[in-house]
Structure 1
Amino acid sequence: MSAVIFTHKQYRAEHLFPFSLTTSMETIPAGMMTNRRRWEQIVKNDLNDRPGVSWFIPANLLPSARLLDQLRAFSPGDFLHIENGAVIGYGTSEADFSGKPSGVLPVTAVDFISYSWEIFEMNARLLHFDFALLTSERESAPLTAGNRVVNEAKVFIEPGADIRFSIINAEEGPVYISKNALVMEGSCIRGPVFIGEGAVVKMGTRIYGGTTIGAFCTVGGEIKNSVLFPFSNKAHDGYLGDSVIGRWCNLGAGTSNSNLKNTAGNIRITLPSGNYQAGMKCGVLMGDYSRAAINTSFNSGTVTGICANIFGAGLSPKWIPSFSWGYSDDTPYQLDQALVHLERWMQTKKQTLTEEEKERITLIYNQTKTKKS
């Protein structure tokens, strides 16, 4: 039996569109890792881990020091009930949690990611938490000469990372740079920030706090409070703020997004399940395998599906469906073309499209066609 079993009753997958099309909640990257890795690491390091007994964790529940203090005292059969119906339990099956709970938590006492924009809204908080989790009893590799660092105690460099003549400021949050990452000359990084394995930060890049650069991403220009899933590119000048970019996406040179309305009002988000209100700031939420042409201007609160080839004049529409060709879905991106083009993109990072990915993309394409017909 797994040490951690994730439950999925306490959120709606359609509220996490477009990322839920291709990724289960517990494997969505945020902070410095996925929620699966985060909770598995916590259980291994800090909680009871007995053979035959598992932790049942809501897949979208974020850990906190306060919550872990309560969980450390658990014995098999103990569970916490959260007012939104979620249960955190320690036992052999969910049937163990039908009696009187060990405690009842108000929703305000814990954090969840229940909507897609909450991935970036919760990211700074996760970066702080994950830094402590990942660096406990570990020693950072030294920075090479020529770099400038503020608050070096909150900067962790993995062996093999290459940082050249850059400025790292960790006064407001930690900075973690993973193995084989390259931070080129003149880059400015202000924490909290995570840079994943093999990522490339190009010359003169400005990265502000609350940002996660996934493994093998290439980034440039200006980035703030955003999450880039692995293998995506924002390699040139342009602004990306308060946004989430899925796997294998590419933002062409000069692409920028609006993240704030001129009225400073809350931003409306359109999802297939309906219209919702995010906070005052929200940029673009881009599904896996989508790409934007040079100088694309994304409207605040833009949502794109997967495998969209995005181009057009003026501000983008706020809703761009999966397999769009341009801003309109009148001429769809044909499946065979999408797969061929994606294979080429993956070759640029020495990867190949797996059969599992092809089947998933084909399934979503067929579902999209069925809804339109």
Structure 2
Amino acid sequence: MFFDKEDILSFSRIYKKTYHVKRVIHIQYPWDIFINNEKVLKKDFLFFTKGKKSSPLLGNNHVICKDKVFLEEDIKANNIVLNAQYGPIYIEKGVKIMEGSVIRGPVSIGKNTTLNIGSKIYGGTTIATFCKVGGEIFNSVIFSYSNKVHDGFLGNSVLGEWCNLGAGTNISNLRNDYQKVTIWNYEKKIFFPTDLQFIGIIMGDHSKSAINTQFNTATIVGVSDSIFGYGFPPRYIPSFSLGGIQNQKRIPFNKICETATIMMNRRNKNFSILDKKILEYLYQLLDI
């Protein structure tokens, strides 16, 4: 799309602030999100903190490179480590960080998110709003209202909204033979080669894993899956699947809506008509 000089002047009158973008990061595949996240976090930190003053961090905490740590108000933390030596750390308001947690930047934590005791958050990680996390997280993006509460490793991954990883869930992000990974292509319906060595899991909205689930390197999980059972689940799990490698079935749509309603109500959110329409559209695509 192109704009002439009159269009630009008109936009300037409508919007009080205009920003010039020199470079756009192109997200072609879902894994481009975590691949580019570290550089985006560093640039965003400068943008969002310019001219602002960080709130104090009360309690007995250890902060390294304090000038690269920005805290919004009402953050509760005690006996934690914030290490911004390798990248900035931005923590939004209402975040609770339990004792023993370590955050090593660049990292962004969204408002009202809770980090459980002993959480280990490595650089290149974004945890969005209203999440509950724990264990070890490396170079990953977790969207809002998703949970990884317990111990277990999550690396080079993307979790959509309203996901939940059961206790002991682990994600491999590297093959044993250190080879480049293949990953599922929805259009061609095959696994195709990539130039990447590190990919964990890409999980769609509303999907869940049971306790002690072990995901292989470069696993694609669809929307509203319920994954459980022995052994490694398949590296591609279609949306609305129930079970694991030994018994994978399709979840009835009314059960999908029921589960989403219960989970969202626990966070004082309603499963809206729009939410239902979106899932229904995706559900019907499986029949095409």
* TM-score, normalised by the number of residues in structure 2: 0.91
1:366 corresponds to? 284
Contact 2:59 2:77 in 1 (8 A): no
Measure the CA separation in 2 of the matches of 1:361 and 1:161.
35
Q: 1:287 aligns with which of 158, 181, 204?
A: 204
2:151 corresponds to? 237
Alignment of 1:30-179 (within 5 A): 49-51=11-13, 67=22, 111-179=25-93
Measure the CA separation in 2 of the matches of 1:138 and 1:122.
25
Alignment: residue pair count: 275
Give secondary structure in 2 for the equivalent of 1:306.
coil
Letter in structure 1 aligned against 2:236: W
Query: Alpha-carbon deviation of 1:48?
Result: 10
Measure the CA separation in 1 of the matches of 2:82 and 2:266.
29
1:182 corresponds to? 96
Measure the CA separation in 2 of the matches of 1:139 and 1:265.
46
Give secondary structure in 1 for the equivalent of 2:47.
helix
Q: 1:317 aligns with which of 225, 230, 234?
A: 234
Q: 1:254 aligns with which of 168, 171, 189?
A: 168
Identity %: 40
Q: C-alpha root-mean-square deviation of aligned residues, in Å?
A: 2.1
Query: Alpha-carbon deviation of 1:214?
Result: 0.8
Give secondary structure in 1 for the equivalent of 2:67.
helix
Query: Alpha-carbon deviation of 1:248?
Result: 0.2
Deviation string, structure 1 residues 237-279 (Cα, Å, up to 9, x no partner): 0000000000000000000000001111111110211324151
Deviation string, structure 1 residues 273-299 (Cα, Å, up to 9, x no partner): 132415110000000010000000011
Letter in structure 2 aligned against 1:347: N
Deviation string, structure 1 residues 29-59 (Cα, Å, up to 9, x no partner): xxxxxxxxxxxxxxxxxx9952379xxx9xx
Contact 1:270 1:276 in 2 (8 A): no
Measure the CA separation in 2 of the matches of 1:305 and 1:250.
13
Measure the CA separation in 1 of the matches of 2:71 and 2:12.
34
Alignment of 1:190-339 (within 5 A): 190-274=104-188, 275-327=192-244, 330-339=248-257
Measure the CA separation in 1 of the matches of 2:226 and 2:248.
13
| The 10-residue stretch of structure 1 (287-296 or 158-167) with the greater mean CA deviation from structure 2 | 158-167
1:94 corresponds to? none
Are residue 351 (structure 1) and residue 275 (structure 2) matched?
A: no
Query: Alpha-carbon deviation of 1:348?
Result: 2.0
Measure the CA separation in 1 of the matches of 2:215 and 2:153.
10
Measure the CA separation in 2 of the matches of 1:333 and 1:118.
30
- Cα 1:52–1:346 shift into 2, 3 Å: closer
Alignment of 1:16-27 (within 5 A): none
Deviation string, structure 1 residues 149-191 (Cα, Å, up to 9, x no partner): 0000000000112122100000000001101111111100000
Measure the CA separation in 1 of the matches of 2:233 and 2:281.
27
* TM-score, normalised by the number of residues in structure 1: 0.70
Query: Alpha-carbon deviation of 1:145?
Result: 3.0
Q: Which runs of 5+ in 2 are unaligned?
A: 3-8
Q: Which runs of 5+ in 1 are unaligned?
A: 7-46, 58-62, 69-109
Letter in structure 2 aligned against 1:299: N
Moved over 4 A (4+): none
Measure the CA separation in 2 of the matches of 1:120 and 1:150.
24
Measure the CA separation in 1 of the matches of 2:120 and 2:36.
21
Contact 2:57 2:75 in 1 (8 A): no
Contact 1:271 1:303 in 2 (8 A): no
Give secondary structure in 2 for the equivalent of 1:176.
strand
Q: Which has the higher contact order (CA 8 A, sep 6+)?
A: 1
Letter in structure 2 aligned against 1:345: M
Measure the CA separation in 2 of the matches of 1:278 and 1:336.
40
1:11 corresponds to? none
1:37 corresponds to? none
